[in-house]
A and B are shown apart, each in its own frame.
Chain A
Amino acid sequence: MVIVVLVAAAQLTGFFIVAHLHRAGAVTEMQKQLDRAADQLIRVVARRNDDLARGASALAFDDGLRGALASTRDRATLRSALNSFQGRVDAGLVALLSLDGELLAETRAAGAEFSGYRVLQQRADQSESARSTGYALVDGALYSLVAVPLQAPDIVAWIVVGFRLDAGFVATLKRETGVDIALEANGESLAATPSKGTDFEIVHRRLGLLQGSAVDVVLRYSRDEKLAPAREMERLLWVVFAGSVLVAALIAVAISRGVSEPVRTLAGFTQRIAVGDYAARVALARSDELGQLADSFNVMAAGLEERDRIRDLLEKNVSPEVAAQLLRDGGALGGEEREVTILFADLRGFTALSETQSPRELLALLNRYLEAMSAEIEARGGVIDKFIGDAIMALFGAPLGQEAAADRALNAAVGMREALERLNRTLATEGRPPLAFGIGINTARVVAGNIGSKRRLNYSVIGDGVNVASRLQSLTRVADYDATIITSHATVAALRAPNPFTLRPLGTAAVKGRQEPVTIYAL
């Protein structure tokens, strides 16, 4: 849509600029043409004056006219001579003046006395060329007049010849210039070419008269006529404009179909991903960038799904806390020293049991036992570090620091003992022999972190304290102690006060690999 508007705006701007320039050009051209026509009018008149003057001068030597003038002052005779003269030079009027400027005769039969002849004659008499020209209104008509001398061989009189700037004259001029011409004096039309149209480009020229005011030459050019090509071009531009807007609209629709909809599809897809629907896949059968993007999205979704699956597996295989930390920090659980309470639980007589049970039954039994124990440990915030065959190693206070880790461990041990009693009751109903275990608990500062090769890592703890916990568990086998749960003094010392547990001191025990004996308690 924006594209359509932009294209329309650009087109409109271009259109108006071109149209304006074109019109301005046409108007300038018209003005020039009008000026040229005005100049031509003046030139044509001058040329005509010249022709007339030459003709008159030639005839001024005419023997007949000279003879008539020499022999008579009779007006009628002189006028008849002038009429003959008029015909020969094709003049609108001819007048004969004495050297003093007195009108001797003229071809006009009637009309008011015209004093312009004398003005013209005096100008001619003063001029080097013995000739003068001028415009004059005679009997309401515009004439261009020329005065030339009548020589016999001296100047004996003056001849004034004139031609009328009439409708025929302006019509001729229009044929040559294509411009409408009107001659006006005092707002009255003297001669004009018939012109069509109402909208005109107009140029005014003034023709000064021998006497009085001036004649207004109005040169007009019909704008309608002159601007017709410009208008034609504008129409063409409109068509181009409409066409290009239409094309832009079609392109916009195509782009919307080709881009907007896939983008919307992809956006919907990302929203599904955002809410965790990693199984979602986007299907765009395209080979362009959007298609590549969709493929990338699918790969991403597959990756997310894979990660989700891995997290799921991880949570099943390692404790959720470790899984979370692994996923958060990647595989690089750096080694760190922290205080951890380690719990070892080992099943008694499992080897003997394995001789009487089928492997499948044995494994099912083991899993029931481990499941029940794991539940107790995890219920108290413990983390199953690993299953070592039928043994369980659990951590409290790692990988995340925990409050009252020692309390939690002892509570878990108590819970495990109760859980085992419940399991044994169930096993009894099933006709199976009861199970027994021993638990050793120790609290110590150990090194925690990912242990293993690059390809296989295990989060675990290592250190002397771990061995102690394992040894304490082994001590439960000592019949003298008569204890299923043995904990070290370090754990007891870590308990929060008041201590809710019933602890029976068992004195000290030497622990293998450790020089100092460990003070132990039975729970």
Chain B
Amino acid sequence: MRSHAGWLTLILLAAGAAHAAGTDLQIRVEDQKHDPVGDGVVWLVPLDRPAAPASAPPTRVEIEQRGQEFSPLVTVVRVGTTVQLPNRDNVEHHVYSQSQAKKFEFPLYAPGRAESVVFDRPGVVALGCNIHDWMLAYVVVVDTPWYSRTDAAGHGMIAGVPPGRYRAEVWHRRLASSVQREIEIETASTPLAFTLALKPDRRIRRPASIERGGYR
């Protein structure tokens, strides 16, 4: 997790640097039981300006396959970002997406190879593996530079948000659909908090035998 958090920090820092003039918006996401919600994605869509300013895509975004899992589970990218899908496992994988935002399929590719995908439309893309049912990753593609992914403590931060009106959207894999709210960003903005009604975790359980080493 630590290395993923590092990547995320890199992304956030890159985004923050471009808009250093704005407010740093603190974010907190919790569920109906007031437990912190990690892997929540919050982004802001400006309502006063017709479009968000373009920003340079980060140098490198990747979702690796290791130990028959995708990592990280949730990735947020701006539209147009290319995501590497390196196979660092000892088995082949068959990565696919049937999501409307981006459909693709990489049939059986061997360890060591790294396919890449350009996410050119906003939306949530669920990545699966045709061989390993439990393998799951999400790529949240947003058309805005102001986004954040909450950590395990349910905290996130969007740096350098210019004052103005925004549509704040939050996505979580256990939400039926994304939650939206209109907000006003002042120079010293109050933290943005969401309380989400989450559905049961439907993630497919990995068979115990595989966790024990892949044999019966």
Contact = CB atoms under 8 A, between A and B. Distances in A.
B136 A130 contact: no
Interface string B128-148: 111001111010000000000
Contact of A63 (B126, B130, B135, B176): B130
Interface stretch (A87-95, A146-154, A233-241): A146-154
Interface size class of B (residues with CB under 8 A): 10 to 19
Contacts of A21: none
Nearest to B70: A153
Interface in B112-160: 126-130, 133-136, 138
Given A66-B98, A70-B103, A153 B128 contact: yes
Interface in B171-209: 173, 176, 199-200, 202, 204
B200 A154 contact: no
Interface in A123-137: 125-128, 130
Given A70-B98, A151-B204, 12 more contacts: A61-B133, A66-B98, A67-B98, A127-B200, A130-B200, A149-B202, A151-B202, A152-B98, A152-B128, A153-B133, A154-B126, A154-B138
Interface class of chain B by DSSP: loop
Contacts of B134: 153
Contacts of A153: 126-129, 133-136, 204
A81 B15 CA distance: 46
Interface of A: 61, 63, 66-67, 69-70, 99, 125-128, 130, 149, 151-156
B133 A152 contact: no
A156 B204 contact: no
Nearest to B127: A153
Nearest to A154: B126
Nearest to A155: B202
A156 B199 contact: no
Contacts of A152: 98, 126, 128
B97 to A, nearest CB: 9
A151 B98 contact: no
Contacts of B128: 151-154
A221 B141 CA distance: 65
A151 B103 contact: no
Contacts of B199: 125-126
Contacts of B173: 154
Interface string B94-111: 000010000100000000
15 contacts: A66-B98, A99-B176, A125-B199, A127-B200, A128-B200, A130-B200, A149-B202, A151-B204, A153-B129, A153-B134, A153-B204, A154-B128, A154-B136, A154-B173, A156-B98
A69 B126 CA distance: 15
Interface string B20-53: 0000000000000000000000000000000000
A29 B117 CA distance: 70
A165 B215 CA distance: 39
Contacts of B130: 63
Nearest to B202: A130
A211 to B, nearest CB: 24
